[in-house]
């Protein structure tokens, strides 16, 4: 077994630097790598390109990095929850590349899977298609999208083992598995870290081969953006 465990957050983010490209898992605030984001925020590095479906909220998630202006460019599909983000974008301080959510997921997977490019119908006839090759398949126009890769991918799982195998909970899975595949160095933080051999080999979502470093995170806030409930009748 190849041991991927690191013992501190410092070791986990070792090697991160200005101007690097990062992928960060999560959908909204669900399944985001809270510990890594906090450490990156405290590291003070800047000029970053961040690939993440969303950009957090003003005071949490990637909002922490935005607030300190560490991010030069965001690659996302939806950024509607973040006023500071919108301000920086409309003022031109922040470069933003908005990508259809399915294309974003597939481009990350492609990056990890050695597929340099693929055709998808998403975005044909829109701004997203500008400058991209268009080709018809079965009478329907498609555009050519390219793979995304990152210097570091930061992902968050529920359970993990020292071999780097990951299991996500509920919808906290989202982009984490594809980003884990696409990072040159993938750093996984988990709520519960087990010795290798304790997780069911058939129930693992991210095989350890995609993970270079793993650690047990702490103090998870796991904020809820839209608390919607019903009352018992």
Partner 1 sequence: MALDKIGIAKRIAQELKDGYYVNLGIGIPTLVANYIPEGINVEFQSENGVLGMGPFPFEGEEDADLINAGKQTITTLEGAVFFDSATSFSMIRGKHVQLTVLGAMEVSEQGDIANWKIPGKMVKGMGGAMDLVASADNIIVAMMHTNKRGESKLLKKCSLPLTGVACVKKIVTNLAVLEVVAKGFKLLERAPGVTLEDIQNATEGKLIIEGDIPEMVL
- Using CB under 8 A as the criterion, what x/- string covers residues 170-199 for binding partner 1? xxxxxxxxx--x-------------xxx--
Cα–Cα distance measured from residue 125 to residue 16, given in angstroms and rounded to the nearest whole number? 38
Residue 232 binds: one of partner 1, a copy of itself, none (C-beta under 5 to 8 A by kind): partner 1
Binding-site partner at residue 184 among partner 1, a copy of itself, none, CB < 5 to 8 Å by type: none
Instruction: Tell me the closest approach of the beta carbon of residue 90 to a copy of itself, in angstroms.
Output: 34
Name the residue among 210, 205, 196 with its Cα closest to residue 161: 196
| 121, 140 contact by CB (below 8 A) | yes
Between 175 and 215, whose beta carbon lies closer to partner 1?
175
Binding piece for a copy of itself, criterion CB under 8 A, among 1-9, 23-31, 43-51, 132-140: 132-140
Residue 165 interacts with, from a copy of itself, partner 1, none (CB under 5-8 Å by kind): partner 1
Distance CA 220, CA 33 (A): 9
Kind and range of the H or E run holding 161: strand 150-161
Contact pick of 7, 91, 138, 228 for partner 1 (by CB under 8 A) = 228
Q: Is 106 in the site for a copy of itself (CB under 8 A)?
A: yes
Q: What does the buried/exposed string (b/e) look like for 101-132 if buried means 16 or more CB atoms within 10 Å of the residue's CB? A: bebbbbbbbbbbeeeeebbeebbbeeebbeee
Q: Which residue has the tokens 């599909």?
A: 77
Task: Please identify which residue in 22, 27, 152, 168 interacts with a copy of itself, judged by CB under 8 A.
Answer: 168
| Min CB(181)–a copy of itself separation in Å | 14
Based on the shown chain and the rule CB under 8 A, indicate whether residue 169 belongs to the binding site for partner 1. Answer: yes
Q: What is the DSSP letter of 91?
A: T
């Amino acid at each position: 077994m190849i041991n991927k465990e690191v013992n501190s957050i410092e070791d986990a983010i070792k090697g991160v630097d200005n101007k690097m490209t990062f992928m960060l898992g999560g959908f909204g605030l669900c399944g985001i790598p809270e510990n890594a984001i906090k450490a990156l925020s405290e590291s003070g590095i800047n000029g970053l390109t961040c690939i993440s479906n969303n950009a957090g909220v003003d005071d949490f998630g990637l909002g922490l990095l935005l607030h300190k202006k560490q991010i030069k460019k965001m690659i996302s599909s939806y950024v509607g929850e973040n006023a500071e983000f919108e301000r920086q974008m409309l003022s031109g301080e922040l470069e933003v590349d908005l990508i259809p959510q399915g294309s974003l997921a597939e481009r990350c997977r492609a990056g990890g899977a050695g597929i340099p490019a693929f055709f998808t119908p998403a975005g044909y006839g829109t701004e997203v298609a500008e400058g991209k090759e268009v080709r018809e398949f079965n009478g329907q126009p498609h555009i050519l999208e390219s793979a995304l890769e990152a210097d570091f991918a930061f992902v968050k799982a529920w359970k993990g083992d020292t071999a780097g195998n990951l299991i996500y909970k509920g919808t906290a899975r989202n982009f984490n598995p594809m980003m884990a595949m696409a990072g040159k160095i993938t750093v996984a933080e988990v709520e519960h870290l087990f010795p290798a051999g304790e997780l069911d080999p058939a129930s693992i979502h991210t095989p350890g081969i995609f993970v270079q470093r793993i650690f047990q995170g702490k103090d998870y806030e796991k904020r809820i953006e839209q608390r919607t409930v019903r009352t018992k009748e």
